[in-house]
Chain A
Amino acid sequence: DAGVTQSPTHLIKTRGQQVTLRCSPKSGHDTVSWYQQALGQGPQFIFQYYEEEERQRGNFPDRFSGHQFPNYSSELNVNALLLGDSALYLCASSWQKNIQYFGAGTRLSVL
């Protein structure tokens, strides 16, 4: 049984570029949440998707957008990258409002 999978593992971009991160939830899970973790900090909630809709959003600008597909997989898009967007991006999946399990993360470096 595959767990939560994220791709790519690492990514290097330059300021102003756009990036797309991908997540496949654990089998049987229908809800995907995205978190940003800066160095030395706890993860910060970006948004959550359920039934292909954004259900809740954290305090992140509109440059951060997402999508959930009918197979429950999800994408996180970040436009106009800033140096401060450098972080570990974590995807977590759950079955509705139950416990969230994290993928290995995508480490984004913005130069």
Chain B
Amino acid sequence: QKEVEQNSGPLSVPEGAIASLNCTYSDRGSQSFFWYRQYSGKSPELIMSIYSNGDKEDGRFTAQLNKASQYVSLLIRDSQPSDSATYLCAVVMNTGFQKLVFGTGTRLLVSP
């Protein structure tokens, strides 16, 4: 079992729709969860961080965390073509160090 799992996609949504990206993780003791956006040929850019169960909203983005189910998701409302990118889920495992463990990423395509 991979430590962090994501569907590689591509996830295709029309402009204006809600995109839902999902991630599961294996270490039940994990405490910190992050979503990074990566455009082709560029480096990862932090979008959201979440540490507690529930929802965290920032503009068009909402991160959702369910530690009991070991599941974290990212919702993008009113999707725009500029949102087309690979979205990486990253988890800090319960090791005491800030080592990020990434999933393989989900490619999102937003069509005009």
Binding site for B on A (CB under 8 A): 31, 33, 35, 40-45, 48, 55-56, 58, 88, 90, 92, 94, 96-105
Contact = CB atoms under 8 A, between A and B. Distances in A.
Given A40-B104, A42-B104, A42-B105, A90 B98 contact: no
Contacts of A90: 43-44
Contacts of B100: 33, 35, 43, 45, 92, 100
A37 B98 CA distance: 18
B34 A43 contact: no
B25 interface: no
Given A42-B88, A42-B104, A55 B97 contact: yes
The 8 closest A-B pairs by CB, nearest first: A42-B102, A97-B98, A56-B97, A102-B43, A105-B43, A42-B104, A45-B99, A102-B44
B43 A104 contact: yes
B46 A101 contact: yes
A48 B42 contact: no
Contacts of B105: 42
Given A42-B102, A45-B100, A99-B34, A56 B95 contact: yes
Nearest to B45: A102
Contacts, number: 56
Nearest to A58: B99
Contact of A33 (B34, B46, B99): B99
B111 interface: no
Given A40-B104, A42-B88, A99-B34, A48 B44 contact: no
A52 to B, nearest CB: 16
A86 B77 CA distance: 36
A56 B44 contact: no
A45 B44 CA distance: 14
27 contacts: A33-B98, A33-B99, A35-B100, A40-B104, A42-B90, A42-B103, A42-B104, A43-B44, A43-B88, A43-B102, A45-B101, A48-B98, A48-B99, A55-B97, A56-B95, A58-B99, A88-B43, A90-B43, A92-B100, A97-B98, A99-B34, A100-B46, A100-B98, A101-B46, A102-B43, A104-B42, A105-B43
